[in-house]
Structure 1
Amino acid sequence: MHVFATAGHVDHGKSALVRALTGIEPDRWDEERRRGLTIDLGYAWTRLPSGAQVAFVDVPGHQRFIGNMLAGLGPTSAVVFVVAADEGWRQQSSEHLAAVHALGISRGLLVVTRSDLADPGPALADGRSRIARTSLGDVEGVPVSALTGEGMPELLAALERLAAATPPPRTDGRVRLWVDRAFTIRGSGTVVTGTLGEGTIAVGEEVDLAGRPARVRGLESMEQQHDRVGPVSRVAVNLRGVGVSEVARGDVLVTPGAWRLTAVVDVRVEPVGGSERLPGGASQQRLPSQLTLHVGTTAVQAHVRPLGADAVRLVLDRPLPLVAGDRAILRDPGAKRVVAGALVLDADPPELRRRGAARRWAEQLARATGTPDLAAEVGRRGAMRVEDAVALGIPLPPTHSDEVAVHGPWLVATSALEGWSAALAQALHRRVAEQPLEPSLTAEAAVAVAGVPARALLPQVVHAAGLELVEGRVWVPGVRASLGAAESGLRELEERLAATPFAAPEQPDLDAWGLGRAEVAAAVRAGRLMRLDDGVLLRPDAPARAMRVLAGLPQPFTLSEARQALETTRRVAVPLLEHLDNRGWTRRVDGSHRQVVR
């Protein structure tokens, strides 16, 4: 699939053009259709005569909705620029073209609409001349009339050529999906949509959305269900584990552990095409101290600190998954205009505290746009992704070196890996000595104490330290939680549950066995007990043993029937059945009956 964004002045026929191409109404709101004015992003798709699939992100043209326009333009790699023959180039035409140039979009097509109302020649010549001075360069121009159909076959042919000229995306990269819509479907839950530019999403896999873990429940593209969706695609992702109220446009769905969030980035400021607002040189000195950064579908406030002739540091009001090579737009919210484009040079820049540090760092950034030294750059950061090095133009070694090692998609400084592993080993051995009931660290805690820049690097650090990573926790080999005097009590409890698996102990039983809160927690972490809701303790194999009993009951069954078959109490049966429901092993049929899911 190819995903193209529309662009152009309000009321120049973008939505009518998309409608004529696809047969789909891109204006989703009643108010949009009533006013004949696109307010929010619209989506439509079609199949070209060659069989290629094309989706359109229809953006609003009115100046008041420029933020929505930028959200639609950000994730796409090609643009269909629309100018009306009877009105010609207008104010928002320039604003949209400035945004296209700021994002560095280099592939596009000029479409002159309403050619049945006026001679399209002047608008074609003027539009191509203006566009030629931007990142789009010399684009093809096609006059059409969505009303009469004149020029539509030529437009389809031009779209075929535009699609063929678009390079294939990476299907094996990490996922970064900028969310442009979030809504709920009854019976399915939360759904988010966006343009998938690289990587592949699959049903059942875990993702991270706005800092929250979630699981992909279903995938849809072009109204078709899929088990996997690759780039470039318009995709709707049905998620489990996140509420619709917790998600909004501008949030990002990413591969867990694959992205580092940053709130400080150094960028090269680039003048907008065809504009005299930034004449070059020290133009960024006139930038306001507060701007809005538009990247993907998100917009965040950014404090601007000048560094050098064309470099600034942006301090964002919230962290984002950005890397070197990303392109963004800087917009003045007061003047309501695009100020400049921004090319991310460093998403993990050093602190600048000493006098003259900003100037010296700006000089180093300028050199970094050439061919920086790999060992020096990775050594300064500790680790960096291979993609970031490529974006900075750093030549990569074919194999490990004494200074830099390649770990999957990461380049890691050998000295940094040694430092992280030593810090982790020291912290864990200290914990074993001080807290024998909890002699391990969670993966998150291990990352923090070792100073590892990304969770994805933790396995390498653990291995280098001679430790073990088991089910999300880091252990010293051969060391597990020691219950001391309470060990005999735990063995008695295990023996009782082996004989009567659903006879969960009461508090007096635990007290008699010397199993306090800390001892029980240690036994649960060690996998010797499992804790259900309401503090019910059973053996870890209890759910599987319960299923064997429940499968033998007439289906569906009631809570009372399940309780009697399991020879247990309501205190145990209620949370146990809810646990089985949550695992998808049983399901409710009505208010009082369940059945085993075969």
Structure 2
Amino acid sequence: MKNIVIGTAGHIDHGKTTLIKALTGRSTDRLKEEKKRGISIELGFTHFDLPSGRRAGIIDVPGHEKFIKHMLAGVGGMDIVLLVVAADEGVMPQTKEHLDILSLLNIKKGIIVITKESLVDEEWLQLIKEDIRQKVKSTFLENAKMMVVDSVGGTGIKELITIIDQLTDETESRNINAPVRMPIDRVFTITGFGTVVTGTLVEGKITVEDTLEILPQKIKVRIRNIQVHGNSVETAYAGQRVAINLANIKKEDIERGYVLAQVNSMETTMMIDVRIKTLKDVSRVIQNRDRVRLYHGSTEIFGRIMLLEKQELSPGESDFVQLRLEESIAVKKGDHIVVRFYSPIETIGGAIVIDNNPQKHKRFDKRVIQELAIKEKGTPEDILEKHIERYSNQFPDAAYLAKTTVQQIDEVKKLVTHLVAVNRVLLLNNTNVLHQSYYTEIKEKALGLLKEYHKSNPLRQGMMKEEFKGKLIPNNAGKSGDALLALLEKDEIIKVLGKYIALYDFEISFNKAQIQIKSILEENYLKEPFATPRLEDVIKSMEFKKQEIEQVLESMMAKELMKISSDIVLHEKAYQKSKDLLIQYIEKHGSISLAEFRDLLNTSRKYAVALLEYFDNNRVTKRLEDRRTLY
């Protein structure tokens, strides 16, 4: 069944609370001061049953200008608004400001309710009706039903309930499959139960024993008990007014404005990219870096406006803006924010979130403006693609992208699959998502790094793998880095040569002198393959420059020559021969001793020991007392 929250709005003393009492039989004023002064100071909550059987939650907001902050804390969760106007006073300043706020928050359904009709004559009532129609022109209430009621005598109340019930059929159902999100508008304790929070569940569903988190504090909590309209339930759904008993947290650790959310579903932020639209009748021009008050969900937070397109913003104008905040906040793309001047306080206009966790922007950057335009009006695929493009250097996975875009993982995976199919992004290890533009940058960087390296080290087989990964992708070694190397090799950008990385088409090229040096070295190390000379002696015996010999040696040590121990070097052919003889002998006899291996190679004990220890360390053999078997 569809869940509906109805709210009031209007000037102080126009009869909002009395109207709710007439609708529900209950007063929403609960504070002593409210009852003493006869005005609403805090938000009031109750409910009533509609003829259709739906149970609607009701939020009563204060009408005094001093309590506009409290009004803003409650209005964001409303589906239908009752704009209350007293017949004897008509549209007043707070009526106008409340109407502006409702429009800025994208409230779509409402009814105009005229109260206190017994205080005026029919002629005056008609004038008030005409004035109201004029004042709501070009707002969401332009074509709204207008009802005249007597909240004390009961005239018109039954008809109003019927209209409300009809209007609930036209309201959009909230998304119960989205990640859980509930702005907290009240916190208190109940003896024997502990901490309780209330709010309108704007998205998702909450079940007893769920583990959620409080944002922006990132405190994990367990759902101990749930009440909807005073009744204990196992599950609460988006669109319901909910009271939740929390475990693992004290009342002092929560404030109005915090958000109860699905664990790891949202990133907190201190910057938001928005489209801001100012009211036509705002009295001041917005300057860059103006300090403002921002109202989102049930929170008030301070920040500064960074105008990205214009030098200043006049009444009725719109601009892309970066809001730089003084505290962390949890928001989602598409959320509506009310913006007010810091002092003197005045509502400026409304903002719609475009990017909930952006990078810091420079003003008048055309690329930034173009990206914001895509994020503002693009398809879900376009928007996710921009997030992937931004976060590619972090090798994001679906869970991370779901968190940054505040979507469920399954939905993100579907979008990624489509983006891969149209070649806009690619997958590494079927996990990490990279944008094609980032991969192009990586390929160009890899080419540049290796070209420069080969130019400086023409006789080296390549750059050490870990050094290459560290320069190519500094923050992403490990499996992601290895998967990227495999992709670069598949695309014939690089080749992986054991612990070395080279350009795909790179080959070592020797000059005449170097060819001679290589030939002499090979001759020395193949002449007596298991009784090789010391490197120092070979170098001294050659009539070439020491630096040139060392360069050739370094090149050969990566391929033709192998260092078996600190003072023994063998030719790769000799090593392979020794390995083959060893394996054949063990396969035939089951094991081999040091002496048997020495005789097999016709070498000294020193060389036999060094080779066997090398085989042990490389898991070719394993030692069992004084014999070796295959590993």
With structure 2 as the length reference, what TM-score do the two structures score?
0.61
C-alpha distance 232-39 of structure 1, shift in aligned 2 (>3 A): same
Q: Distance in 2 between matches of 1:405 and 1:162?
A: 47
Equivalent residue for 1:257? 264
Q: Say yes or no: does 1:314 pair with 2:315.
A: no
Equivalent residue for 1:198? 203
Q: Distance in 2 between matches of 1:175 and 1:38?
A: 30
CA contact (8 A) 2:288 2:306 kept: no
Q: Say yes or no: does 1:380 pair with 2:390.
A: yes
Q: CA deviation at 1:154?
A: 1.3
Q: Distance in 1 between matches of 2:98 and 2:307?
A: 26
3-state secondary structure, aligned to 1:317: strand
CA contact (8 A) 2:85 2:91 kept: yes
CA contact (8 A) 2:264 2:403 kept: no
Q: Distance in 2 between matches of 1:225 and 1:417?
A: 51
C-alpha distance 102-153 of structure 1, shift in aligned 2 (>3 A): same
Q: Deviations over 1:222-280 (max 9, x none)?
A: 110011111110100100000001111111111000111111011111123xx4227xx
CA contact (8 A) 1:6 1:82 kept: yes
Q: Deviations over 1:35-78 (max 9, x none)?
A: 10100000010001111111111000001111001111122233
Q: Distance in 1 between matches of 2:195 and 2:50?
A: 32
Equivalent residue for 1:208? 213
3-state secondary structure, aligned to 2:117: coil
Q: Percent identity?
A: 31
Q: Distance in 1 between matches of 2:387 and 2:263?
A: 25
Q: Distance in 2 between matches of 1:134 and 1:287?
A: 29
CA contact (8 A) 2:28 2:44 kept: yes
User: Which amino acid in structure 1 is aligned with residue 10 of structure 2?
Assistant: G
Equivalent residue for 1:346? 355
Q: CA deviation at 1:312?
A: 1.2
CA contact (8 A) 1:146 1:152 kept: yes
C-alpha distance 173-112 of structure 1, shift in aligned 2 (>3 A): same
Q: Distance in 1 between matches of 2:111 and 2:91?
A: 15
User: Which amino acid in structure 2 is aligned with residue 178 of structure 1?
Assistant: P
C-alpha distance 3-358 of structure 1, shift in aligned 2 (>3 A): same
Q: CA deviation at 1:161?
A: 1.9
Q: Distance in 1 between matches of 2:79 and 2:483?
A: 41
Q: Distance in 2 between matches of 1:411 and 1:337?
A: 47
C-alpha distance 450-287 of structure 1, shift in aligned 2 (>3 A): closer
CA contact (8 A) 1:194 1:236 kept: yes
CA contact (8 A) 1:378 1:411 kept: no
C-alpha distance 349-357 of structure 1, shift in aligned 2 (>3 A): farther
The CA RMSD measured in Å over matched residues stands at 3.3
CA contact (8 A) 1:173 1:199 kept: yes
Q: CA deviation at 1:366?
A: 3.2
C-alpha distance 207-97 of structure 1, shift in aligned 2 (>3 A): same
Q: Distance in 2 between matches of 1:387 and 1:137?
A: 37
Q: Deviations over 1:482-512 (max 9, x none)?
A: xxxxxxxxxxxxxxxxxxxxxxxxxxxxxxx
Equivalent residue for 1:413? 434
Residue pairs, 1:215-294, within 5 angstroms: 215-272=222-279, 275-277=280-282, 285-286=286-287, 289-294=290-295
C-alpha distance 352-50 of structure 1, shift in aligned 2 (>3 A): closer
Q: Say yes or no: does 1:8 pair with 2:7.
A: no
Q: Say yes or no: does 1:296 pair with 2:297.
A: yes
Q: Distance in 2 between matches of 1:179 and 1:302?
A: 21
Q: Distance in 2 between matches of 1:417 and 1:108?
A: 48
Q: CA deviation at 1:400?
A: 5.3
CA contact (8 A) 2:355 2:375 kept: no
CA contact (8 A) 1:83 1:113 kept: yes
Q: Deviations over 1:62-95 (max 9, x none)?
A: 0111100111112223311110011101011111
Q: CA deviation at 1:333?
A: 3.2
Residue pairs, 1:375-454, within 5 angstroms: 375-382=385-392, 384-385=401-402, 388=405, 399=418, 401=420, 402-404=423-425, 412-413=433-434
Equivalent residue for 2:562? none
Q: Distance in 2 between matches of 1:411 and 1:125?
A: 61
C-alpha distance 2-31 of structure 1, shift in aligned 2 (>3 A): same
Q: Distance in 2 between matches of 1:341 and 1:123?
A: 28
Q: Distance in 2 between matches of 1:334 and 1:181?
A: 26
Equivalent residue for 1:42? 44
User: Which amino acid in structure 2 is aligned with residue 413 of structure 1?
Assistant: L
CA contact (8 A) 1:124 1:143 kept: no
3-state secondary structure, aligned to 1:263: strand
C-alpha distance 150-203 of structure 1, shift in aligned 2 (>3 A): same
Q: Distance in 2 between matches of 1:386 and 1:160?
A: 37
CA contact (8 A) 1:131 1:139 kept: no
C-alpha distance 82-248 of structure 1, shift in aligned 2 (>3 A): same
Give 1 or 2 for the bigger CA radius of gyration: 2
Q: How many residues align?
A: 416
Equivalent residue for 1:506? none
Q: Deviations over 1:178-205 (max 9, x none)?
A: 1011000011000000000110001101
Equivalent residue for 2:33? 31
Q: CA deviation at 1:322?
A: 1.2
Give the alignment partner of residue 54 of structure 1, picking from 49, 53, 56: 56
CA contact (8 A) 1:291 1:303 kept: yes
CA contact (8 A) 1:291 1:330 kept: yes
Q: CA deviation at 1:171?
A: 1.0
Equivalent residue for 1:160? 165
C-alpha distance 203-417 of structure 1, shift in aligned 2 (>3 A): farther
Give the alignment partner of residue 93 of structure 1, picking from 72, 92, 95: 95
3-state secondary structure, aligned to 2:169: helix
C-alpha distance 351-287 of structure 1, shift in aligned 2 (>3 A): closer
User: Which amino acid in structure 1 is aligned with residue 322 of structure 2?
Assistant: R
C-alpha distance 139-329 of structure 1, shift in aligned 2 (>3 A): same
Q: CA deviation at 1:289?
A: 0.9
Give the alignment partner of residue 127 of structure 1, picking from 132, 137, 162: 132
Equivalent residue for 2:471? none
C-alpha distance 123-52 of structure 1, shift in aligned 2 (>3 A): farther
User: Which amino acid in structure 1 is aligned with residue 58 of structure 2?
Assistant: F
3-state secondary structure, aligned to 2:348: strand
CA contact (8 A) 1:105 1:136 kept: no
Q: CA deviation at 1:6?
A: 0.8
